Structure 1
Amino acid sequence: MRRPGVPPTGAPHIPVLLDEVVTALDLGGARLAIDGTFGAGGYTRAMLAADRDIRVLAIDRDPDAISAGARLVAESDNRLRLVAGCFGDLDALATEAGEPQVNRVVLDIGVSSMQIDQAERGFSFRHDGPLDMRMGGGGISAADIVNEADEAALADIVFHYGEERRSRAVARSIIEARRRGPIETTGQLADLVAGVVRTEPGSGIHPATRTFQGLRIAVNDELGELVRALHAAERILQPGGRLAVVTFHSLEDRIVKQFFAARSGRAVQSSRHMPTALPGGEPAPAKSFRPVTKGPVLPSAAEAARNPRARSAKLRAAERTDSPVPEPLGAIEALARLPDAPRGGPRR
Structure 2
Amino acid sequence: MTFEHRTVLLNEAVEALRIQPDGHYVDGTFGRGGHSRAILARLSPAGRLTVFDKDPQAVAVAQALAAQDARVTVRHEGFAALAALPPASLDGILLDLGVSSPQLDDAARGFSFRHDGPLDMRMDPTRGVSAAEWLAKASVAEMTEVIRDYGEERFAASIAKAIDRRRQTRGPVRTTAELAEIVAGAVKTREPGQDPATRTFQAIRIHVNAELEELQQALDASLSVLRPGGRLVVISFHSLEDRRVKRFLQAHARPTLDRRLPMLEPPPPRWAEVARVRPSAAEVASNPRARSAVMRCATRTAAPAVAERGERGCG
Q: TM-score, normalised by structure 1?
A: 0.80
SS of residue paired to 1:105: strand
Once the two structures are TM-superposed, the CA of residue 124 in structure 1 deviates from its matched residue by 1.0
Q: Does 1:315 align with 2:304?
A: no
Closer, same or farther: CA 265–147 of 1 in aligned 2, 3 Å? same
In the TM superposition, 1:12-27 aligns within 5 A as 12-27=4-19
- On the 8 A contact 2:88/2:227 being kept in 1, the answer is no
Closer, same or farther: CA 301–170 of 1 in aligned 2, 3 Å? same
In the TM superposition, 1:248-263 aligns within 5 A as 248-263=237-252
Q: Does 1:39 align with 2:49?
A: no
Query: Could you tell me which residue of structure 1 aligns to residue 107 of structure 2?
Result: 119
Of residues 173, 178, 186, the one that matches 2:162 is 173
2:5 and 2:222 map into 1 onto residues whose CA distance is: 26
RMSD between superposed Cα atoms in Å: 1.9
Query: Could you tell me which residue of structure 2 aligns to residue 157 of structure 1?
Result: 146
Q: Does 1:199 align with 2:181?
A: no
Q: 1:270-315 CA distances to partner (integer Å, 9 max, x unpaired)?
A: xxxxxxxx7644663321111242xx20000000111111100000
Q: Does 1:302 align with 2:292?
A: no
Q: 1:88-113 CA distances to partner (integer Å, 9 max, x unpaired)?
A: 11131x34xxx961111000111122
2:25 and 2:238 map into 1 onto residues whose CA distance is: 25
Once the two structures are TM-superposed, the CA of residue 266 in structure 1 deviates from its matched residue by 6.2
SS of residue paired to 1:40: coil
Of residues 262, 266, 283, the one that matches 1:284 is 266
Query: Could you tell me which residue of structure 1 aligns to residue 121 of structure 2?
Result: 133
- On the 8 A contact 1:154/1:171 being kept in 2, the answer is yes
Once the two structures are TM-superposed, the CA of residue 70 in structure 1 deviates from its matched residue by 2.7
Residue 302 of structure 1 aligns to which amino acid in structure 2? A
Q: 1:21-78 CA distances to partner (integer Å, 9 max, x unpaired)?
A: 11211113451101111111111011011233432100111122111223322333x1
1:287 and 1:262 map into 2 onto residues whose CA distance is: 9
2:55 and 2:258 map into 1 onto residues whose CA distance is: 39
Using the aligned pairs only, state the percent identity: 47
Query: Could you tell me which residue of structure 2 aligns to residue 28 of structure 1?
Result: 20
Once the two structures are TM-superposed, the CA of residue 11 in structure 1 deviates from its matched residue by 6.2
1:319 and 1:170 map into 2 onto residues whose CA distance is: 43
Closer, same or farther: CA 88–323 of 1 in aligned 2, 3 Å? farther
2:282 and 2:255 map into 1 onto residues whose CA distance is: 33
2:54 and 2:88 map into 1 onto residues whose CA distance is: 20
Once the two structures are TM-superposed, the CA of residue 17 in structure 1 deviates from its matched residue by 0.8
- On the 8 A contact 1:260/1:291 being kept in 2, the answer is no
Q: 1:131-180 CA distances to partner (integer Å, 9 max, x unpaired)?
A: 11111221121112212111111111001101111111111111111112
Closer, same or farther: CA 292–75 of 1 in aligned 2, 3 Å? farther
Query: Could you tell me which residue of structure 1 aligns to residue 73 of structure 2?
Result: 81
SS of residue paired to 1:322: coil
Q: TM-score, normalised by structure 2?
A: 0.89
Q: Does 1:185 align with 2:167?
A: no
Query: Could you tell me which residue of structure 2 aligns to residue 4 of structure 1?
Result: none
2:29 and 2:20 map into 1 onto residues whose CA distance is: 22
SS of residue paired to 1:165: coil
> How many residues get paired?
296
Of residues 212, 216, 231, the one that matches 1:242 is 231
Residue 117 of structure 1 aligns to which amino acid in structure 2? D
Q: Structure 2 unaligned segments of length 5 or more: list them.
A: 305-315
- On the 8 A contact 2:238/2:292 being kept in 1, the answer is yes
SS of residue paired to 2:181: helix
1:71 and 1:85 map into 2 onto residues whose CA distance is: 17
Of residues 206, 212, 215, the one that matches 1:217 is 206
Residue 12 of structure 1 aligns to which amino acid in structure 2? E
Residue 288 of structure 1 aligns to which amino acid in structure 2? R
Q: Which runs of 4+ in 1 moved over 6 A?
A: none
SS of residue paired to 1:140: coil
Query: Could you tell me which residue of structure 2 aligns to residue 274 of structure 1?
Result: none
Once the two structures are TM-superposed, the CA of residue 118 in structure 1 deviates from its matched residue by 1.4
Q: Structure 1 unaligned segments of length 5 or more: list them.
A: 1-9, 268-277, 325-348
Query: Could you tell me which residue of structure 2 aligns to residue 49 of structure 1?
Result: 41
- On the 8 A contact 1:22/1:47 being kept in 2, the answer is yes
SS of residue paired to 1:136: coil
Residue 96 of structure 2 aligns to which amino acid in structure 1? D
